[in-house]
Amino acid sequence: MLVIAAPGQGAQTPGFLAPWLELPGFADRLGAWSELAECDLVRYGTTADADEIRDTAVAQPLLVAAAIAAALDQVVTGAHPVSRQSVAVAGHSVGELAAGVLAGVITADDAMRLVRVRARGMAAAAAAAETGMTAVLGGDEAAVLAAVEAQGLTPANVNGAGQIVAAGTMAQLAEFAKAPPAGSRLRPLSVAGAFHTRHMAPAEEALAEAAQAVHASDPVRPLLSNRDGSVVRSGKDWLDRIIRQVSAPVRWDMCMQTMSGLGVTALIELPPAGTLAGLAKRALRGIQLVALKTPDDLDAAHVLLAEHADSHDDSHAPEWRLLVAPAGGLFRAPAGHPETAAPGAEVGRGSDLGYIEMRGDRRSVEPTFPATVIEWLVEDGDPVSAGQPLVRLHPQAAD
C-alpha cells in the first residue's frame, strides 16, 4: 500500500511555490482559492519573506492549497488509475484538511473556506495569551511525556521517531527548559502560540460553526486521523475529529503505527515536503519515500503510483504483515484467553493482542485489519522497543 501525506504548519519556506506555478492550471487554482481564503496565495508562496508566511493566518491556507493543488491532476487523479484501497491518505495537523479532499470527504473549495476560519481563529487565540511550543528531541518517550505533563504542559505533537512537542504558556516552557528530560535536547519553535492545546478552544468553536455549512461524504479511500491514528470510515466522524483536533494533541506516531499495520511500503509527501518523509524514514524503515519539493520530483512519485495502479480493491493484501510495538516497555500477552491469539487464530480489527506496559501507563496492541495469526516473535514479559516487530499476521482481503 502507498500513503500520500500532507504536511502541517512549519513546513513552509519562502518561495517554495515558485516552481510549481509553472505547471498548467496550478496558478489558476491558487488564484481561485485565494478569494475563498481571502489571502493572496500566489504572492505568499513566491515572494513573501519568512516572517510573513510564519503568520498562522497565512501559513495554514498556503499549506492546504499547495498540497491540494499538487495532488489534483498530478498525483491522486493523474495518469495512473490507482485503486481506491491501494492508496491511503493522511495529513499532519492542518494537513488533515488536504487529506480530506484527497479522500473525497470534502471539496477543495470547502477545505479553503474551513482553513480560513481555522487559521484566523487559531491566530486570534494565540494572540490572547503568551504561549508557545518547544520540540523535545530524544530521551525516553515515557519519561519525556511525564516531564511535560508534570510541568502543566501539553504534548501537542507526538510525532514518533524521538520527537515530542510540548506546548503551553511561556512561563511553563521556561521552567521546563531549566531541567529538560534526561537524554533529550530542547528546540523552541518559532510559532505564534500553543497549538493543539486548551488555549485553542475559541478557534475550535469558530470552526465548529463554519463546519455546519459543509457537507462531508464518507471517504473513498483509507483516511487516517491525527486523534488516534485510526482509519476513519464516516465523513461526519472525520469532520467532528477535524474540529476537535484544533485543541487536541496530534498523534502522528499513531498514524505511522497504522501505516505499518496496513502494510504501507511507500509514502509520497506533498509540498512543501520533507518533514513527514523524514519522520517516516526513521520510524518506518525500509519503505520507499518521495518528498515532492519541486515538480522535478513528480517523476519519482509517478513511478510509485504506477506500481499501485494495477491493484484491485479486493486483492491488494500482502501475504503477511508485521504488527509492531507502539512504544517501548514490557510486552504483556492477552489476558484471560491467550488461545484467542495463538497461531492459526483469526483476529478482527481492534482485537486484544496484549499490551505494552510502561512506567505508569500501558499501550494496547491491536491490529487495524482482520487477519490470521502466523507466529509470535516475542513472549509475555519480553522487553521491547518502539517499532519492534511483535507478531506476524496473514491479512484478509480489504473490505
Are both 65 and 148 inside the same structural domain?
A: no
Distance in angstroms (rounded) separating the CA atoms of residues 100 and 7: 13
State whether 259 and 279 are in the same domain: yes
SS3 (DSSP) at 296:
helix
Residue ending a domain, choose from 150, 167, 188: 188
> Looking at the domain assignment, is residue 173 inside a domain?
yes
DSSP-assigned beta bridge partners for residue 375 = 392
Residue 364 lies in a domain: yes
For residue 313, being part of any structural domain is answered with: no
Nine cell digits for residue 230: 485510526
Residue 216 sits in the same domain as residue 297? yes
Q: Are residues 227 and 286 in the same domain?
A: yes
Total Cβ atoms within 10 A of residue 186:
16
Is residue 227 within 8 A of residue 169, CB to CB? The reply is no
Residue 111 lies in a domain: yes
- Specify if 193 maps to a domain: no
Residue 30 neighbours by CB under 8 Å, 6+ apart: 17, 21, 41, 42, 45, 65, 69
Residue 175 domain boundaries: 129-188
List the CATH number of the domain containing 109. Answer: 3.40.366.10
CB neighbour list of residue 318: distance below 8 Å, 6 or more residues apart: 263, 395
Q: Is residue 316 part of a domain?
A: no
Q: Are residues 220 and 281 in the same domain?
A: yes
Helix, strand, coil share (%) of the chain residues, nearest 5: 40, 20, 40
111 with 218, same domain? yes
| Residue of 34, 83, 86, 93 marked active site | 93
- DSSP 8-state class, residue 270: P
- Beta strand extents in 161-265 (DSSP E only): 163-169, 184-188
203, amino acid identity: A
Q: What is the pLDDT along the chain (399 residues), one digit of tens a residue?
A: 899 999 999 899 999 999 999 988 899 889 999 999 999 999 999 999 999 999 999 999 999 999 999 987 566 554 444 455 578 999 999 999 999 999 999 999 999 999 999 999 999 999 999 999 999 999 999 999 999 999 999 999 999 878 999 999 999 999 999 999 999 999 998 788 999 999 999 999 999 999 999 999 999 889 999 999 999 989 999 999 999 999 999 999 999 999 998 889 999 999 999 999 999 998 898 899 999 999 999 989 988 887 766 444 444 444 567 787 777 789 998 875 556 678 888 888 788 899 988 877 888 888 877 888 888 988 888 988 766 778 888 877 544
Give the total number of structural domains in the chain. 3
Check if the beta carbon of residue 2 is closer than 8 Å to that of residue 304. Answer: yes
Position 315 in a domain: no
DSSP secondary structure of 99-129: HHHHTTSS-HHHHHHHHHHHHHHHHHHHHTS
Positive or negative, the CA dihedral 293, 296, 297, 301 is positive
CB 93 within 8 A of CB 152: no
Q: Which residues contact 237 (CB under 8 A, 6 or more apart)?
A: none
CATH of the domain at 359: 2.40.50.100
Residues 223 and 301 placed together within one structural domain of the fold: yes
**What is the pLDDT at residue 309?**
62
Question: Using the 8-state DSSP alphabet, how is residue 3 labeled?
Answer: E
Q: What is the pLDDT of residue 398?
A: 47
The label of the residue with cell 515558485 reads: 18
Which residue's entry shows cell 518561495? 15
CATH of the domain at 143: 3.30.70.250
Q: Any catalytic annotation for residue 93?
A: yes
Distance of CA 8 to the CA centre of its chain: 8
pLDDT at 366: 84
Please state the three-class secondary structure of 272-285 as a single string. Answer: CCCHHHHHHHHHCC
Residue with the three cell numbers 509514502: 267
Parallel, antiparallel or unpaired: strands 266-269 and 288-291: parallel
Whether residue 142 sits in one domain with residue 47: no
CA distances from 2 to 290, 294, 369 (A): 11, 20, 16
Q: Of the candidates 188, 219, 237, which is a domain's last residue?
A: 188
> Which grid cell is 320?
503477511
Predicted confidence at residue 313, as pLDDT, reads 44
207 and 120 together in one domain: yes
Closest CA to 3 of 208, 288, 201: 288
- Pick the last residue of a domain from 188, 207, 230: 188
Same domain, 40 and 177: no
User: How distant, in Å, are the alpha carbons of 98, 164, 184, 191, 195 from that of 244?
Assistant: 17, 20, 30, 20, 12
Looking at the structure, do residues 210 and 174 belong to the same domain, yes or no?
Answer: no
Contact 205, 160 (CB under 8 A): no
Same domain for 203 and 288: yes
Q: Mark whether 196 is an active-site residue.
A: yes
Query: Residue 157: what are its φ and ψ, rounded to 5°?
Result: -130, 120
Decide if 95 contacts 64 (C-beta within 8 A): yes
Which residues, listed in sequence order, are joined to residue 154 by a DSSP beta bridge? 167
- Residue 314 counted as domain residue: no
Q: Is the pTM for the entire model greater than 0.85?
A: no
Angstrom distance (rounded) from CA 106 to CA 86: 20
SS3 333: coil
State the catalytic residue, choosing from 196, 199, 302, 308: 196
